[in-house]
Amino acid sequence: MNDDNSRDLYDRALSVMPGGVNSAVRAAIEPYPFFVQKGDGGHVIDADGNRYVDWVMGLGPLLLGHDLPEEVRAGIQRNASEGPMYGAPTEIEVDLAEFVVRHVPSVEKIRFVNSGTEATTSAVRLARGHTGRNKIVVMQGGYHGAQESTLVEGDADERGPSSAGIPVSFSDHTIPVPFNDEDAVREVFEEHGDDIAAVLTEPILGNNGIVHPVPGYHEFLREITDEYGSLLIFDEVITGFRVGGLGCAQSELDVTPDLTTFGKIIGGGFPVGAIGGKAEIMEGLTPAGDVFQAGTFSGHPVTMAAGLETLKFAAENDVYEHVDGLGDRLRSGLSDIVADQAPSYTVAGTASMFKVIFTRENPGTGALEGESEFGCVQDPDSPRYEYAPKNAADVSAAETDRWRRVFWGQMKERGIFLSQNQFECQFVSYAHTEADVEETLEAYKEAL
């Protein structure tokens, strides 16, 4: 596979951009990433003309794939050509807000921003303003964007910023706990309960190999936050409008958060974020309330049009049926391959999310009898239950180097573009086909 053009582009990029990229994970590929020339349905074509089945899909935003349906394209073009933005409100913002409020039960009001990072930053500020408390509880291995209050590592007893450049005082106020561990959360509330503004969590860890909640975990978070007068914030930047269809993961889990952060799909492929929730809490944002929030590009008409037309298209077509169906086919095919060739590995995911986690522990029985159909959910009745990763430490203990340094390149050689490391999720889009799935399963069979 020739990659001369990508190599030359990366060489140029290294001279003018830190690490040669504009977002760190893109450089996880060694020795250099391929540069994309264009998308085509469920595929991308790189700068040297190589074609790949694309399971990265922008790392989440592209529910419909690369060729946008006519309605979506028309909405984008109309709003781009009439003048890109105004610094004054437009109708399309109201249209998208109404759509979200209609479909996501916990969202009575919504504020649009420009990235998931901005959404979680504002949600944390709003939770602090609303409760008059400073501390937030987050999950180890959860990701809430590149922001000071959530870039934290360690545990409740010993923690610090996970990046240079962040004052330790931020991590004093942010307490990381292991996902799926009720006792750890209970202990933190017993010690700090009256100071905790919110628990902030992804419903499913989507930036950490995909870790599913064990039954009852989110119900427990709902109860303990209510008990202590703290807010429960779901970060649905990945799962929003992907898991649970238009009702999002919270509708599938049947747990109602106080606030929800959105991003990715809600902007139809353009820069976006949003915070939604109970009217009484949302009214805390300026100018209704006193928690400052603002943005020059917030509610950008082109983004709003892309988001609205994408979600309307999903509401009126068999989008979720298609992507979830192919997701099931991928996960069951992968479960068969893994059972045969790498029985210690774990197939994770739900709806249109999937990942093979290179877990090391080997139940030693090959294909497990009674294994839940796709070998991927936290089903206490499955014999694989105790081996399914429950938290970030379990995923970090996997063969992460083999995944990134050996396996990723083997898949690329076979024309399959997977996300850049063991931790980032992969996504099915409406443009993917059964043939893409079969080709991908063949490649896994050879590369695993």
Distance separating alpha carbons of residues 403 and 175, to the nearest angstrom: 30
Tokens representing residue 103 in the block: 């479909």
Distance separating alpha carbons of residues 184 and 270, to the nearest angstrom: 38
CB closest to ligand PLP, residue no: 116
Q: How many CA atoms lie within 13 A of 435 on its CB side?
A: 5
Site of tokens 């590009």: 297
Q: Give the shortest CB-236-to-ligand PLP separation in angstroms.
A: 7
Q: Could you tell me which stretch among 67-75, 141-149, 308-316, 352-360 binds ligand PLP (CB under 6 A)?
A: 141-149
Q: Could you tell me if residue 370 is left (phi over 0), alpha (psi between -120 and 50 degrees) or otherwise beta?
A: left
Query: What is the CA 324 to chain-centroid distance, rounded?
Result: 16
Q: Could you tell me which stretch among 41-49, 113-121, 314-322, 426-434 binds ligand PLP (CB under 6 A)?
A: 113-121
First to last CA, the chain: 20
CA–CA–CA angle 228, 229, 231 (5° rounding): 110
Pattern of binders to ligand PLP over 240-269, x per CB under 6 A? -----------------------x------
Q: Give the shortest CB-242-to-ligand PLP separation in angstroms.
A: 10
Which residue lies nearer to ligand PLP by CB, 24 or 393?
A: 24
Tokens representing residue 171 in the block: 């991590």
Q: Is 436 a catalytic residue?
A: no
Which residue lies nearer to ligand PLP by CB, 238 or 348?
A: 238
Query: Which of 13, 214, 238, 377 is in the footprint of ligand PLP by CB under 6 A?
Result: 238
Q: Is 264 a catalytic residue?
A: yes
Q: Is 54 a catalytic residue?
A: no
Q: Could you tell me which stretch among 138-146, 186-194, 404-412, 439-447 binds ligand PLP (CB under 6 A)?
A: 138-146
Distance separating alpha carbons of residues 429 and 324, to the nearest angstrom: 9
Tally of CB atoms within 10 A around 295: 15
**199-218 binders of ligand PLP (CB under 6 A):** 202, 206-207
Q: Give the shortest CB-146-to-ligand PLP separation in angstroms.
A: 6
Query: Which of 145, 276, 284, 349 is in the footprint of ligand PLP by CB under 6 A?
Result: 145
Q: Is 339 helix (H, G, I), strand (E, B) or coil?
A: helix
Catalytic residues: 143, 235, 264
Q: Which residues bind ligand PLP (CB under 6 A)?
A: 115-117, 120, 143-145, 202, 206-207, 235, 237-238, 263, 273
